[in-house]
Amino acid sequence: MPANLPPQYFEAEKRFRMAKSSEGKIEALEAMLAIMPKHKGTDKLRADLRRKIAKISQEAERKYATSRTSFYIKKEGAGQVALVGLPNVGKSRLLKAATDASPEVADYPFTTKAPTIGMMKFKNIQIQLVDTPPVASPASRMWLNNIVRNADLIAIIVDLSNQPMEQVETTLQELENMNIVSATSNTKEATIGKFQKRILIVGNKNDLENSSTNWSQLNARYKAHFYMISISAEEGSNLEELKREVFDALDIIRVYTKAPGTKPDFTNPIILKRGSTVKDATETIHKDFRSGLKYALVWGSGKFDGQRVGQEHVLQDGDIIEFHV
Ligand SMILES: Nc1nc2c(ncn2[C@@H]2O[C@H](COP(=O)(O)OP(=O)(O)O)[C@@H](O)[C@H]2O)c(=O)[nH]1
Ligand SMILES: [Mg+2]
């Protein structure tokens, strides 16, 4: 221990011993390092302090990373849509315009604050929108990762007034880095180790200058691969079309059930993947029900109303189904 260390050094050392958080420990160690005079006699001590700082910050980072890995948002409603994009494209503004949520219309800070969730009403169903931290920020990567992997649909939001093509490319690259590929292109190829997700590109701020030219170019470039819609979250324009597009992209149908001799309940549809059969519908309602199912009557996708159909009959959005057990 070199002599003549100033009293501030010992105060900082005391702070270090008392500190509970890693931030507090690191702060104290850094103060000790700054106070310590630099000469041969203190070389070893300074190296020790630096090692300690490195060790504590590594541990803190590891702990932070694991806690964020387990981060996911419980699904509610007919589907979960992750709003992703660069900062300031209007993700929060869109959430505010399309749902009951009231997020801050500003950038996400680098905190563990939960992302904002809102329910978007479309016809008689609710779709869950999740506002996420901006892509291309290392701080949000782990977190964003879990949200996009879990989501049923990824909505890439871009600012149409400001080189939207580049924004799309950057965002797609970020998704690619997270091992996520579009489900609407190359679907025939087996993609091992990749998560296939449907992608909707939302061109926002279509009220601004240059946005219509940019939108035309963007649309021409990507419409073969992705669902596309242009909106203004600020003015609330095209929001109904956006909802319809989200519904289509989610690839779901609404089916109503009725008991014989009663009217169907149109307020509470069951949500099924497109292409689902009568069998799938019965399984969703009740596991034991299926074995007891004699037949079903269908209004909508049948050849005529109330047609008797078998288990393999493919249902359509809006169908009414009556089970006979
Ligand atoms: N003109 C215009 N401005 C918008 C629109 N949507 C969002 N903004 C503005 O863009 C800025 C960033 O919006 P915000 O929702 O916080 O972006 P986020 O970082 O993607 O969540 C805010 O000043 C919004 O008022 C829009 O449709 N038109
Ligand atoms: Mg935001």
- pLDDT above 70: residue 137: no
Q: Ligand 1, residue 231: give the atom nearest the CA.
A: 27
What pLDDT does residue 110 have? 43
Asked if residue 92 has its Cβ within 6 Å of ligand 1, the reply is yes
| Mean pLDDT of the chain, nearest integer | 86
- pLDDT above 60: residue 168: yes
Average pLDDT over residues 300-311: 90
CATH topology identical between 80-250 and 253-324: no
Å from CA of 302 to ligand 1 middle:
46
Average pLDDT over residues 175-202: 75
- Residue 150, Cβ density class (10 Å: 0-12 exposed, 13-18 middle, ≥19 buried): middle
Closest C-alpha among 243, 233, 302, 245 to residue 93: 233
Spatial CB neighbours of 14, under 8 Å, sequence gap ≥ 6: none
- pLDDT above 90: residue 299: yes
Domain 80-250, what fold? Rossmann fold (3.40.50)
The answer to whether residues 234 and 298 touch, using CB atoms and an 8 Å cutoff, is: no
The alpha carbon dihedral of 201, 205, 209, 212 has a sign of: positive
What pLDDT does residue 24 have? 81
pLDDT tens digits for range 14-49: 999 998 887 788 889 988 988 888 888 889 999 999
Residue nearest atom 7 in ligand 1 by C-alpha distance? 90
pTM: 0.75
Q: Ligand 1, residue 157: give the atom nearest the CA.
A: 20
Token pair, residue 66, equals 């694991």
Q: Which contiguous run of DSSP H or E holds residue 279?
A: helix 278-285
Average pLDDT over residues 107-124: 71
One-letter-per-residue 3-state SS of 191-260: CCCCEEEEEEEEEECCCCCCHHHHHHHHHHHHCCCCEEEECECCCCECHHHHHHHHHHHHCEEEEEEECC
- pLDDT above 90: residue 98: yes
Residue 313 burial (CB count, 10 A): 19
Average pLDDT over residues 235-248: 97
CA distances from 217 to 47, 202, 207, 304, 323 (A): 57, 14, 16, 45, 50
Band (108; pLDDT cuts 50, 70, 90) = very low
Query: What are the backbone angles phi and psi of residue 232, rounded to the nearest 5°?
Result: -130, 110
Closest C-alpha among 297, 200, 215 to residue 256: 297
CA distances from 278 to 109, 263, 308, 324 (A): 47, 19, 11, 12
Pocket probe for ligand 1: among 105, 161, 202, the residue whose CB has the most ligand atoms within 8 Å is 105
What pLDDT does residue 319 have? 97
What pLDDT does residue 20 have? 84
- Segments making up each domain of the chain, as ranges: 7-69, 80-250, 253-324
Residue 70 burial (CB count, 10 A): 7
> How many Cα atoms are found within 13 Å in the side-chain-facing hemisphere of 114?
9
What pLDDT does residue 238 have? 97
Task: Give the 3-state secondary structure of residue 3.
Answer: coil
Task: Give the 3-state secondary structure of residue 135.
Answer: coil
CA distance 208 to 93: 15
Higher-pLDDT residue of 307 and 111 is 307
Asked if residue 205 has its Cβ within 6 Å of ligand 1, the reply is yes
Asked if residue 240 has its Cβ within 6 Å of ligand 1, the reply is no
Asked if residue 89 has its Cβ within 6 Å of ligand 1, the reply is yes
CATH class of the region 253-324: alpha beta
Residues in the chain, how many? 325
Higher-pLDDT residue of 229 and 66 is 229
Average pLDDT over residues 117-135: 90
Residue nearest atom 8 in ligand 1 by C-alpha distance? 90
